[in-house]
Amino acid sequence: MTCDIFLLFCLMVVVIMCVSIRIKTIIKEKGLKQKEFAKSITVTESYISKLIRNESGLSNSTAALIEEIHGYSAQWILTGKGNKYLSSSQDSSLSLVKRKVISEIEGLTDDEVMAVMAFMKTFKNVKIDFPEKE
């Protein structure tokens, strides 16, 4: 029983440590200072410091906020599993209609995607040949 509790404790320490490394990675990749990163997700710089020093855990809601603002998957931040970045169909910087289109395209075969691309190129050429009047 004591051994099981110790192993569980060790596992929790490893998970927290990995979250720390992933937070450091996000800050570095975004080219932010800890203070700027904290401000971007509306938490204190002290909280970010504690995360990095493994003195605090990361809540699901904060991970979701990082996902929404910075585009890193909350699942990856919390567990290290799954895609590091959101798929482009989940990118909140895109309009809803563009996210829907991307989501649909992700479900197509390569041949179907090539057909869509050919249509898009044709459409683009029509716009060049017949520009809208102002």
pLDDT digits (tens, 9 = 90+) for 40-74: 999 999 999 999 998 998 999 999 899 888 888 89
Output the average pLDDT for the chain: 80
Whether residue 72 is found in the same domain as residue 61: yes
Q: What is the pTM of this model?
A: 0.56
Whether residue 80 is found in the same domain as residue 99: no
What is the span of the domain harbouring residue 78?
1-85
Whether residue 67 is found in the same domain as residue 115: no
CB 63 within 8 A of CB 81: no
E strand map for the chain: none
pLDDT tens for residues 76-99?
A: 999 888 888 876 555 556 676 776
Would you tell me the crossing angle of helices 2-30 and 45-52 to the nearest 10 degrees?
120
Whether residue 66 is found in the same domain as residue 95: no
Can you give the CATH number for the domain in which 17 is found? 1.10.260.40
Whether residue 4 is found in the same domain as residue 66: yes
Tell me what pLDDT residue 48 has: 96
- Our count of domains for the chain comes to 2
Residue 9 amino acid letter: F
Whether residue 10 is found in the same domain as residue 32: yes
